[in-house]
Structure formats: C-alpha cells, structure tokens
Amino acid sequence: MIPVTKPFLPKVQEYESYVSSIWERQWLTNNGPLVNELELKLKNYLGLSHLLYVSSGTMALQLAINALELMGEVITTPFSFVATSSSLVWEGCKPVYVDIDVETFNIDPRKIEAAITPQTSAILATHVYGNPCDIDAIQEIADRYDLKVIYDAAHCFGTKYKNKSVFEYGDISTVSFHATKLFHTIEGGAVFTRSPELLKKMASMRNFGYHGPEEFSELGINGKNCEFHAAMGLCNLKQVDEILDKRRLLSFYYWRALATLKASYPKLNTDLDYNYAYFPVLFDDEQLMLKCMKALENEKIYCRRYFYPSLSALPFLNPAHMPVCESVSRRMLCLPLYHTLTSSDLDLITRVILRVQQYENSNDFIPSMFAIETDRKLNAAF
Ligand SMILES: *Cc1c(COP(=O)(O)O)cnc(C)c1O
C-alpha cells in the first residue's frame, strides 16, 4: 500500500531516551524543558529571533486572529485546508473569498482590492504547497488600506523567500507540525511575529492569559504543547535536512517521469528555497485525473485531492463563485510523497498514470499490474 503521505518516525530508542528523561523530571507540560529546547532549536534552525510552540496549526491561526483583534471581514483564499476559513469563523470573523492565481494557486493579489470594504480588517493568505504568495503585492495593498496580514504557512517548514525563512513575513505567520506535515511533532504548531508586543500577547494568551499565579492579564486559551510532543520534534529536527533532500529528489524524479503527461505544476515564486512539501499535479482534464486516481487505487496507491472542494462551497458559509479555484480544485491531485518512497515506487505510480493517459479514449480501459508487468517484460526482451 502506498498512501499519499507517511509520518516520519525517528528511531524508537531515541524517542525513548527523551521519555526516560521526562519520567526522571516528572515535568509533563506547562513550558517544560523539552518545549523550551525545541523552541530554541527551531529558532536556530530557521534563523528566527522568536517563535511560540503551540498545540496545533489551527490554534496558531486562532491565536493570530485573536491577538490582532480582527473583526468584521477578512479577505482569504478559497484554495486551502478548511482550518484557514474555519478559524476565522470560530473567531467571529467573516471570510471574504478572493480567487486564486491560475499559475501559483495562491490568492491573486490583483483581485484583492475589489473585495475590500470598510469592514475589512485583514488578509489571511495561505502559501499553498509551501510556495510563497506574492508577498510584496499583498503587503503593498495591506499598507495602503491599513490591513493586517496573516500567513497560513502550514506547508512551509524549511521554505526560504529572499534568503529568509518565509515565516518572517506578514504581521503573524503560522505553521502546523501535524503528523502529516514534513516536519512534525505528532500534533503541534507555531506562531511567528517580528512584533515584541504581539509576541508577548500571544505568549500570555497561549497560557490562559496568566500573568502570575493569581493574576490574569487578558483573555486567553489553552494553546500550550507538552513534553512528549516536543520530544518527537527534537528527534525529527535532527533528520529534517535529510527529509527535505529526499523530497526534492523525489519531486525531480516525478517531473522527469511525467514529462509527457497532459498536466501542469505550480509556478514557483522567484527568490525561493523551496521545501517540496507536496507533489501536486494539475491535470488538464478532470476525467483523466479521476481515471488516474481510480487506476492508482486499484494498485493500492492512494492520492489525495488537496484541496477539494473549494472552501467557497463550505456548508456553513454563504456560497461564493470562484471560477479559477473551482476549476483548479476539480483537476488537482497530490501524488504520494514521503521519505521512504523509492524510485521503483515512483516508476510504478508514473507508469500507471501514463498508461491511463495512453488508453484514455479506449472504453474505460484501466491498466492493471498485469499490463504493466507485460510491458516491463516486453521492454526487457527487446
Ligand atoms: C494542516 C493545515 C492546517 C491545520 O493544522 P493542524 O496542525 O492540523 O491544526 C491549517 N492550514 C493548512 C493550510 C494546513 O495544511
């Protein structure tokens, strides 16, 4: 079975040695030593002056929205994971969708201005698949209309833009360390800001707004993370360069193998060190995509439609018509990408896809392993 992703797991002995140290200290949560160590090591690794480790990427978004005191309408992208929109609604804001760019699949800055009203308080954009938005254009609009900017950088661990971590941009950036992300702490996330005031505020908010044992300085929530999750992060951080390298190699392998597929790939931003977080394929045609998905499932290879459907169709929101997003989300398929995939796995995946394309118009022919095996034997025989 080949799933779309597999969480990275360190050597169990390595994790166990952290667990033993937790047993010795009997300090399980509440800003413990492993949480502090992870925050410090992440700052060093990412080249950032500050970050706050929190319980999830969704919590990071909620803290960001709350700390910036956003109200009314927030301009956001319909092409993201549901948490980007649901966090806004949860915090009492109204998502206002702006369609995406047809080449990058990130929010289209040329369409933002038309959506701004006197109720608009901020822009919440996702760097989709780890590829940064048009940050300069978005910041220019935000400055002109006095809007805050939050980046949902859930996919961006390891991505650098203009030689800096992409987490440096916006008023606040957030990331997820969920088990499906390329760097993970099982559950977890972080918030980043260059503002000392916002940092202090979110640090307090993450811990119920505690100011001292008998004093609460502001409204807070339980956004803390614990020693066990931090331990997983410390193990995984040691391996993250290897994970990033492997994903880059696999991505190039895919691109080369799929050169004849009728499909396209996200146009990456310039000035970028990319993290190859996902392998998204935008098929020219939804029918071909669905046939490929089905044929892959027959071989026990499971892809995912990230992101389908468009968030503008969420049942708890008023529907909005986002033609580019709707068209892209119908045709997009993310292929398996994780550290233990091999080139023969990729050969199998890409050959199934190309076979479907080759036989697309011949009576719903689904290529089987038998056909691929025959193909391989024939090739070997000649
Ligand atoms: C994963 C993800 C989140 C949510 O992160 P959790 O840690 O699962 O709460 C938010 N936004 C995007 C774009 C994501 O991919």
pLDDT tens-digit series, residues 192-214: 999 999 999 999 999 999 988 88
Identify whether residues 224 and 356 lie together within a single domain. Answer: no
Identify whether residues 69 and 108 lie together within a single domain. Answer: yes
Best mutation site among 56, 90, 174, 178 for ligand 1, i.e. most ligand atoms within 8 A of its Cβ?
178
- Say if residue 148 is exposed, middle or buried (CB neighbours under 10 Å; 0-12, 13-18, 19+): buried
135 inside domain: yes
Each as own residue / partner, the long-range contacts of residues 372-379 (CB below 8 Å, 24 or more positions apart, any chain) are 372/348, 375/351
Query: What does the pLDDT look like over 4-25, one tens digit per residue?
Result: 999 999 999 999 999 999 999 9
Identify whether residues 204 and 244 lie together within a single domain. Answer: no
Identify whether residues 214 and 325 lie together within a single domain. Answer: no
What per-residue confidence (pLDDT) applies to 16?
98
Give the side-chain half-sphere CA count within 13 A for 249: 12
Tell whether omega for the bond before 367 is within 30 degrees of 0, i.e. cis.
no
Q: Decide: 185 in ligand 1 pocket, CB within 6 A.
A: no
Identify whether residues 134 and 217 lie together within a single domain. Answer: yes
Q: Decide: 83 in ligand 1 pocket, CB within 6 A.
A: yes
**In the predicted model, what is the mean pLDDT of the chain?**
95
Helix H, strand E, coil C: the string for 253-307 is: HHHHHCCCCCEECCCCCCCEECCCCCEEEEECCHHHHHHHHHHHHHCCECCECCC
Last residue of a domain, one of 218, 237, 256: 237
Q: Decide: 176 in ligand 1 pocket, CB within 6 A.
A: yes
2 inside domain: no
Last residue of a domain, one of 237, 264, 281: 237
CATH number at 301 reads 3.90.1150.10
Identify whether residues 272 and 192 lie together within a single domain. Answer: no
Total count of domains within the chain: 2
Q: What distances in angstroms separate CA 35 from CA 7, 14, 233, one per listed residue? A: 21, 17, 9
Identify whether residues 28 and 119 lie together within a single domain. Answer: yes
Each as own residue / partner, the long-range contacts of residues 342-348 (CB below 8 Å, 24 or more positions apart, any chain) are 343/253, 345/2, 346/250, 346/253, 346/254, 346/257, 347/257, 348/299, 348/301, 348/372
Best mutation site among 53, 54, 56, 58 for ligand 1, i.e. most ligand atoms within 8 A of its Cβ?
58
Q: Decide: 150 in ligand 1 pocket, CB within 6 A.
A: no
DSSP states of 302-343:
--B-TT-S-GGG-TTS-----HHHHHHHHHEEEEP--TT--H
Identify whether residues 24 and 151 lie together within a single domain. Answer: yes
The answer to whether 110 and 104 are in contact (CB under 8 A) is no
Distance from C-alpha of 261 to C-alpha of 102, rounded to nearest angstrom: 19
Identify whether residues 293 and 362 lie together within a single domain. Answer: yes
Q: Take atom 13 of ligand 1 and give the residue whose Cα is closest.
A: 81
47 inside domain: yes
What per-residue confidence (pLDDT) applies to 217?
84
Identify whether residues 216 and 274 lie together within a single domain. Answer: no
What per-residue confidence (pLDDT) applies to 94?
98
Best mutation site among 56, 81, 128, 306 for ligand 1, i.e. most ligand atoms within 8 A of its Cβ?
81
Tell which atom from ligand 1 comes closest to the C-alpha of 155.
Answer: 15
What kind and span of H or E run contains 150? strand 148-152
pLDDT of 259 over the 70 cut: yes
The encoded tokens of residue 344 equal 């023969």
94 alpha carbon – ligand 1 mean position (Å): 19
Identify whether residues 232 and 256 lie together within a single domain. Answer: no
Query: What does the pLDDT look like over 315-338, one tens digit per residue?
Result: 999 999 999 999 999 999 999 999
Q: Take atom 6 of ligand 1 and give the residue whose Cα is closest.
A: 57
265 alpha carbon – ligand 1 mean position (Å): 22
18 alpha carbon – ligand 1 mean position (Å): 26
Tell which atom from ligand 1 comes closest to the C-alpha of 188.
Answer: 7
Last residue of a domain, one of 237, 266, 287: 237
4 inside domain: no
CATH number at 110 reads 3.40.640.10
Identify whether residues 152 and 32 lie together within a single domain. Answer: yes
Mean pLDDT of 212-227: 92
The encoded tokens of residue 288 equal 């071909």
220 Cβ contact list (under 8 Å, min separation 6): 204, 205, 206, 207, 208, 209, 210
202 inside domain: yes
Query: What does the pLDDT look like over 351-379, one tens digit per residue?
Result: 999 999 999 877 555 556 556 665 665 55
In which domain, by residue range, is 104 found? 12-237
189 alpha carbon – ligand 1 mean position (Å): 9
5 inside domain: no
159 alpha carbon – ligand 1 mean position (Å): 16
Mean pLDDT of 279-292: 97
40 inside domain: yes
Beta bridge partners of 216: 210
146 inside domain: yes
349 alpha carbon – ligand 1 mean position (Å): 27
What per-residue confidence (pLDDT) applies to 374?
59
